[in-house]
Amino acid sequence: MNEHRAPVSYADNGPANLADILERVLDKGVVIAGDIRINLLDIELLTIKLRLIVVSVDKAKEMGIDWWENDPALSSGARSNSHGTPRIRESDDERRELRERRELREEERRGEPR
Amino acid sequence: MKDMPQRYVYAYAVTRDCAAVAGALETVTGVAAEPVGGVRHLGLMALAGRVPAAEYDEGALSERLEDLPWLEGVARAHQRVVDAVTAAGPCVLPLRLATVFHDEAGVRAMLEDRGQQLRSALDRLDGRTEWGVKVYAPEPTAAPRPPAPRATTSGRDYLRRRAAERHAHQEGERRAGEAARGIHTTLAALAEETRLYPPQNPALSRHPGRNVLNAAYLVPWDSAPHFTSAVTGLAEHAPGDGLRVELTGPWAPYSFVTPDTP
């Protein structure tokens, strides 16, 4: 049928980066329970577990494996907006911004001549 | 007592049973550097290899999945097998990492149980591949940790300066988000389906900049040249908006094995 017409690889950046591969092989693809039953639940939990071990494993920190923190399914900190573009700002920034805005308002109120 | 089997069967992907698949498998090795073959049943074929049972039984797997260098090796090998067959042309349905069976009979039982779902996905995705597009914006410059206010600066001036910086930062983010949305809209019109991923961590992807769009597009082979040249065009235009566009693929249709249910 369509054989031999598959598009050629567009690998101008060398081998695919680990993040591209992990987000596909761990999180996508056909989910089938093999005979080794643990793997389904395990991989469901893996994304969460990796967030936890990232604290204790230097190698993980080097690799920066915490992109799962941005997973809307796992975190309320980075939900996509209605247009589907991921939100950028992090909740720490939001908290700091709110605090500083409040402080500025107070400073200005205090500085105003009566 | 029954002996433990020395080997389990690791299944990588499912395709239709065809000669091109067998040919593509001749040179590829799997997660345990083992040869990968096809387990055929009812017109389907599972790409599978024999892996050491000690490494892939329940206990070992749950520990090793958290061993990051091991995980990377397995993920890359899994992808290598899927890639080799995808490049040969047949539609490949990748299975999720670490789908492991006791033996070939278990694989055939799976092909039988899930046959209808697998065939319908193969029909839907035949002649299509997945392309990944990521858009990067420059690292934020206005929102780093604020320096401590100097003695010569009043608290109010400091806070005002911070507010101005924040405004510039938000404006930059708004523009980057808008441009990324425009790119996604353009490409979505050229694709049959799209999926949005969470942004990638720059340390893991080893790319400079902030990932503001991370999307997958399902594109028929015939439209692939059109799609990739559209991405190239957007990539050439992007630096004007301070953005960088990156294309990866073609991937097996990982992101699209489950139909979109709006």
**What value of ipTM does the predicted structure carry?**
0.82
Query: Which of B15, B204, B207, B212 best tests the A interface by mutation, with the highest count of A CBs <10 A?
Result: B204
pLDDT, residue B127, reads 94
Cross-chain Cβ contact A28/B250 below 8 Å: no
* Triad B156, B169, B197: Cα angle to 5°: 140
**CA–CA distance, B167 with B142 (Å, rounded to integer):** 9
| Backbone CA torsion sign across B123, B13, A39, A71 | negative
Peptide bond into B250 cis (omega under 30): yes
The type of residue at B142 is: A
On whether any CB of chain B is under 8 Å from the CB of A48, the answer is no
pLDDT confidence of B140, banded at 50, 70, 90? low
pTM of the model: 0.74
Lowest mean pLDDT among A73-82, B22-31, B220-229: A73-82
| Averaged pLDDT of chain B | 87
- How many domains are contained in chain A? 1
Q: How near does any CA of chain A get to the CA of B201, in Å? A: 5
Q: Give the pLDDT confidence of B212-239 residue by residue, as tens digits.
A: 899 999 999 999 999 999 999 999 988 8
Domain assignments of chain B as residue spans, ordered by start: 7-125, 128-140+170-256
On whether any CB of chain A is under 8 Å from the CB of B122, the answer is no
Does residue A9 fall inside a structural domain?
no
On whether any CB of chain B is under 8 Å from the CB of A65, the answer is yes
Q: Tell me the mean pLDDT in the region B200-207.
A: 62
Find residue B41's DSSP bridge partners. Answer: B44
pLDDT, residue B65, reads 76
Helix axis angle, A18-25 to B68-88, nearest 10°: 80
Q: Which CATH class is domain B128-140+170-256?
A: alpha beta
- Among the partner-chain residues B61, B177, B255, the one whose CB lies closest to the CB of A85 is B177
Does residue A11 fall inside a structural domain?
no
Does residue A49 fall inside a structural domain?
yes
Does residue A81 fall inside a structural domain?
yes
Cross-chain Cβ contact A5/B163 below 8 Å: no
Q: Give the pLDDT confidence of B71-108 residue by residue, as tens digits.
A: 889 999 999 999 999 988 889 999 988 899 999 999 99
Give phi and psi for B40, each to the nearest 5. Answer: -95, 140
Does residue A92 fall inside a structural domain?
yes
The answer to whether residue B36 scores a pLDDT higher than 50 is yes
Range of the domain at A88: 18-111
Does residue A5 fall inside a structural domain?
no
**CA–CA distance, B251 with B130 (Å, rounded to integer):** 5
